[in-house]
Amino acid sequence: MANDWHLVHLGTRASGGAGLVMTEAVAVEPKGRISPQDLGIWNNEQASALKPVTEFIKSQGAVPAIQLAHAGRKAGTYRPWSLVRGQVPVEDGGWDTQVAPSPITFNERLRVPRELTTAEVEELVVTFQDATRRSVEAGFEVIELHAAHGYLLHQFLSPISNQRTDQYGGSFENRTRVLREMAVACRKVMSEGLVLMVRISATDWVEGGWTIEESVRLASNLKEMGVDLFDCSSGGSTPDADIPSGPGYQVTFAEQIRREAGMPTGAVGGITEAQQAEEIVASGQADLVFLGRELLRNPYWPQAAAHELGADRPWPNQYGWAVRR
């Protein structure tokens, strides 16, 4: 399958090193998968299959989290590590039912998507709500709505991909409407104490695209609608964005949204060192640090980081014996 499990670092001094484990990009319907191999939670059987996973995560002292996603015009592509790019042909397990706010393709390798009708956009809110309910029943305690990286919810936010003329396009109010409606709907099926997060691309990195100022404004709106935290990434709306990546290159977005909107934030991107992650949380730049690729490179990063920062966590006996010597 194409999904990764991410660890969220909450900071050793700030919270005792607590963490959550998140599965990314779980599709809310079949045609919303990024690749044919992605996890889904569009039926009860899928939710039941994930329950043993959430139970195991809890048994290890962590919090299970799930990222709900719909790829929109980017759906049905090859896995990232495939030698082939573009959308998978129908005869090889792909599909040709990509949808989007507007019939605008992402690049020349992808199909022109079909524009969603107003009624279908309204149904999309229910689709995410149903996926949230199933996620809660499966034992997930944190739900994240994926509105970043050029996928469907981000496609609604960005004027690059949203050129609609109904109540879901045009003004900031209209472009953010579906996400605001979705946050309210998803919160309704979550019991008290469960966490609702939204992952956004804080900027498109191109003129005429989604901006950090709009992200601050959206965070202020969603804070009043029951969203607990913004997971701050960037980019993905256009293939020609000039993104100045480097160590912690997106942390300033998390810091600005946290400061100006009063919304708790998570920092992500180019965070690889224990002290780097700790300083982001301890200095108040963000409330959480999300780790993805670094955990793929080094699955033992959490234990090694805790040891480096003097906040050792329990090790399996076989490994702890080596660490303590």
| pLDDT confidence band for 320 (50 / 70 / 90) | confident
| pLDDT confidence band for 3 (50 / 70 / 90) | low
CA atoms within 13 Å, Cβ hemisphere of 48:
3
* pLDDT at res. 325: 65
* Domains recognised in the chain with CATH numbers: 5-324 (3.20.20.70)
* pLDDT at res. 14: 32
184-188, 288-292, 319-323: the lowest-pLDDT one: 319-323
Mind listing the pLDDT tens digit for each residue in 76-129?
999 988 999 999 999 999 999 999 999 999 999 999 999 999 999 999 999 999
Pairing mode of beta strands 99-100, 19-27:
unpaired
| pLDDT confidence band for 254 (50 / 70 / 90) | very high
Residues of the chain above pLDDT 70, percent: 94
Mind listing the pLDDT tens digit for each residue in 122-152?
999 999 999 999 999 999 999 999 999 999 9
| pLDDT confidence band for 310 (50 / 70 / 90) | confident
Q: Does pLDDT of 13 surpass 60?
A: no
> In this predicted model, which residue has the larger pLDDT, 67 or 318?
67
Examine the residue annotation and report whether 151 is marked as an active-site residue of this protein: yes
| pLDDT confidence band for 316 (50 / 70 / 90) | confident
Catalytic hit among 151, 249, 300, 319: 151
Q: How far apart are CA 51 and CA 314, in angstroms?
A: 24
| pLDDT confidence band for 28 (50 / 70 / 90) | very high
Mind listing the pLDDT tens digit for each residue in 189-239?
999 999 999 999 999 999 999 999 999 999 999 999 999 999 999 999 999
| pLDDT confidence band for 72 (50 / 70 / 90) | very high
Q: How far apart are CA 7 and CA 62, in angstroms?
A: 9
Long-range contacts formed by 254-257: CB under 8 A, 24+ apart:
254/202, 254/230, 254/285, 254/286, 255/284, 255/285, 255/286, 256/212, 256/216, 257/202, 257/212, 257/215, 257/216, 257/219, 257/230, 257/232
Mind listing the pLDDT tens digit for each residue in 265-296?
999 999 999 999 999 999 999 999 999 889 88
Give mean pLDDT, residues 58-75.
95
Q: Does pLDDT of 12 surpass 50?
A: no
> In this predicted model, which residue has the larger pLDDT, 62 or 172?
172
Q: Which residues of 41-62 are buried (b: 16+ CB within 10 A; e: fewer)?
A: bbeeebbeebeebbeebeeeeb
- Average pLDDT in the chain: 92
Q: Does pLDDT of 9 surpass 90?
A: no
